[in-house]
Amino acid sequence: MILTVATSPFDDQKPGTSGLRKKVPHFKQPHYAENFLQSIFDVAERDAGATLVIGGDGRFFNREVIQIAIRMAAANGFGRVVVGQDGILSTPAASNLIRKRKAAGGIVLSASHNPGGPDGDFGIKYNIANGGPAPEAITEATYQRSRALAEYRISDAPAPDLSILGETMIEAMVVEVVDPVADYAELMQTLFDFDKIAAMIAGGFRLEFDAMHAVTGPYGKAIIEGLLGAPAGTVVNGIPLEDFGGGHPDPNAVYAADLIAKLMDEDGPDFGAASDGDGDRNLIVGKGIVVSPSDSLAILAANAHLAPGYAKGIAGIARSMPTSQAADRVAAKRGLPLFETPTGWKFFGNLLDAGKVTICGEESAGTGSDHVREKDGLWAVLLWLNVVAERGESVKAIVESHWSEFGRTFYQRHDYEEIDSKAAAGLIGSLRDRLASMSGQRFGTLVVSEADDFSYKDPIDGSISTGQGVRILFSGGSRIVYRLSGTGTKGATLRVYIERYEPDSTRHNVAPQEALAELIDTADVIGEIKKRTGRSEPDVIT
């Protein structure tokens, strides 16, 4: 039976850059998840009897909300729900399934790289029919609907056992439980030379993939240890756990320190990689070198043609505004278009659909291509392995060769987490107030050439996004960018991005902290970070 349940609206269901994220206890309030799901169903375009993909990263509360979503989909006119076995489905795999099944969209349950567990984070994101995150028009409509919602619809039938593959029925809707890895693994085999990578591994090339007890464990085991023949144990922390084993599923130098330490050891593996909670981010480590996400994007764009799926070359490159300008130099030298967008993968969707770009990336460890409409951690790992196998060089040699050809962009992101929201807003507000008078100001040896608050006009649909981050540009190409993150669940996260271009190869081996020292000091002076937040140093540097 389909029930209509009376409810009252919540005033805090405005999605951020990657859906709605809150602490688990917040989501467990009566009607909270149901209200948001109903708001999505009310505004999302679909035909009667449409297909919906549902999956998540396995974090705490994932299974319960999937069951709610299935029962609500049945009550809201969907004809079929495709759900990953045990509720598991990485974000890029969900994007692939939406596209392959020609679904109306998908519900992705994840808080990405945020911590899990009973007191951890949870999230709900809606992806549209192209497989990508809902654009701002839909997320804003969802929010407005949530503020006026008076009822939601749900079936009183129990959700099926998600551990059993196959089809069952709820009301008039088919629920299809699928192997979460199979379709994704099939797609990867069309893009990369698995035989060549497998031969490299069989020849003694050693690697380690840290799944961080998150969603990519089953994918890594099936593809890296299975199809590519890497020894058992190559994938570590490979069992998805509701609390990620008590760890933080963010593949950066802080939370993947053990992996990095192994690669810094002379007897360690040749290649290391990690992915995050929902499988859309990546960390690449070579023996003796950690590859920055911005450099990784540039290097993959420059070498993508070495993989079979990109042998004809790429159409263009897109990067988020805070991502370093390393990719710009690849685009300029190769005669490719380069698009600078706001942060959030949804901004790449129109460019990809229009065939304007092939490779996209964000500095927050997200890289991807036109194979899906999400960033894709394991895809990046496999493309790196394909490049290494084709070039026959170490990761470090490939990176240094890239710097020699294109110059090195020294780059860091400084995160100030869970700071007072009012203080954070005051800091950004003060910067915006001073932008008009900043050009020409000198800070030590640095002279401001331009300062603005980044805005973006989508070249495909003409939509405009404003207030996307304060940029301070200096003569010579250095930059400082300030923006507030939309992925946290408590307080505010201030992110400060610092970069300097160095064309002289004799200076490429300077430590980033040294190369960026004056800019780091200047970032505090201009942003008044210590004065306004009380923080003398960032919580995380990546």
CA geometry: angle 281, 282, 286, nearest 5 deg: 170
Q: What's the Cα-to-Cα distance from 19 to each of 40, 156, 369, 476, rounded to whole Å?
A: 11, 27, 21, 37
pLDDT at 80: 98
Are residues 149 and 272 located together in one domain of the fold? no
Q: Please check whether residues 360 and 509 belong to one and the same domain.
A: no
Same domain, 220 and 168: no
In DSSP notation, 481-503 reads EEEE-SS-SSSEEEEEEEEEEE-
Rg (CA), the chain: 23
Same domain, 344 and 420: no
Residue length of the chain: 542
- Identify the domain boundary among 179, 204, 224: 179
Q: Among 162, 179, 196, give the residue marking a domain's end.
A: 179
Q: Is 15 helix (H, G, I), strand (E, B) or coil?
A: coil
Give the torsion sign (CA, 277, 279, 283, 286).
Answer: positive
Do 169 and 117 fall into the same domain?
yes
Q: What pLDDT shows up at residue 18?
A: 82
Q: Which pLDDT score, from 0 to 100, does residue 488 have?
A: 54
Shared-domain flag, residues 244 and 300 = yes
Query: Which pLDDT value is given to residue 51?
Result: 98
470 three-state secondary structure: strand
Dist CA 511 CA 223 (whole Å): 35
Residues 441 and 476 in one domain: yes
Same domain flag for 196 and 290: yes
Assess whether 485 carries a catalytic annotation: no
CA–CA gap between residue 334 and residue 433 (Å, rounded): 39
Whether residue 57 sits in one domain with residue 109: yes
| CATH number of the domain enclosing 12 | 3.40.120.10
H helices present in 278-368, as ranges: 293-303, 326-334, 349-353
429 in the same domain as 337: no
pLDDT given for residue 489 in this prediction: 57
Three-class secondary structure of residue 309 per DSSP: helix
Tokens of 279: 């499988």
What's the confidence (pLDDT) of residue 486?
A: 59
List the domain range (segments joined by +) for residue 120: 2-179
| 153 and 243 co-located in one domain | no
Instruction: Please tell me the total count of domains within the chain.
Output: 3
Chunked into runs of 10 residues, the chain (542 residues) has average pLDDT values of 97 90 96 98 93 97 97 98 97 98 97 92 96 93 97 96 97 97 98 98 98 97 98 97 93 91 96 97 97 96 98 98 97 98 92 97 94 98 98 98 97 93 94 96 96 96 93 95 76 94 94 95 96 91 84
- Looking at residue 316, its amino acid is G
Q: Which residue among 163, 179, 195 closes a domain?
A: 179
Gap between the Cα atoms of 472 and 494, Å rounded: 16
pLDDT for 487: 54
Catalytic residue among 112, 155, 294, 296: 112
CATH number at residue 480: 3.30.310.50
Q: What DSSP element (H or E) covers 108?
A: strand 105-109
Tell whether 466 and 537 lie within a shared domain: yes
Return the structure tokens found at 92. Answer: 């890029």
- Count the Cβ atoms, other than its own, within 10 Å of residue 63: 18
